[in-house]
Amino acid sequence: EAGVVQSPRYKIIEKKQPVAFWCNPISGHNTLYWYRQNLGQGPELLIRYENEEAVDDSQLPKDRFSAERLKGVDSTLKIQPAELGDSAVYLCASSLIWNIEETQYFGPGTRLLVL
């Protein structure tokens, strides 16, 4: 079974440029998460989707970040414009919601460097 797929794996951009990250969750997983992991820190939730609905985006900086999950499968996270402080690893995770354990499976992440 294929795991969570993310692309690109690495991205270097100049500040004020836009950037987008793509995630394809594990087949059949209806719940999708985007996390940001700063260097030396644990992942922090940005947004959670149940199917195509964003059910928790309270920690997404909405002035510059946006996300979508069309058709309830793939998802895209966008930053526009990027700032130096956005340099981090952006992780996508997916899970099945139907039990309390709801184990989250993570992708390899996109490592973003903003210059």
Partner 1 sequence: QKEVEQDPGPLSVPEGAIVSLNCTYSNSAFQYFMWYRQYSRKGPELLMYTYSSGNKEDGRFTAQVDKSSKYISLFIRDSQPSDSATYLCAMKPYSGAGSYQLTFGKGTKLSVIP
Contact residues toward partner 1 (CB under 8 A) are: 4, 31, 40-45, 48, 56, 91, 93, 95, 97, 100-109, 111
Half-sphere exposure of 90 (CA within 13 A, CB side): 30
Query: Measured from the CB atom, is 18 or 61 closer to partner 1?
Result: 61
What residues contact residue 62 under an 8 Å CB cut-off, 6+ apart?
A: none
- Alpha-carbon distance of 72 to 45, in angstroms, equals 19
**Least distance (Å) from partner 1 to the CB of residue 110?**
10
Task: Report residue 114 as tokens.
Answer: 């903003």
- Alpha-carbon distance of 81 to 89, in angstroms, equals 17
Query: Measured from the CB atom, is 86 or 107 closer to partner 1?
Result: 107
Query: Measured from the CB atom, is 43 or 112 closer to partner 1?
Result: 43
**Least distance (Å) from partner 1 to the CB of residue 31?**
8
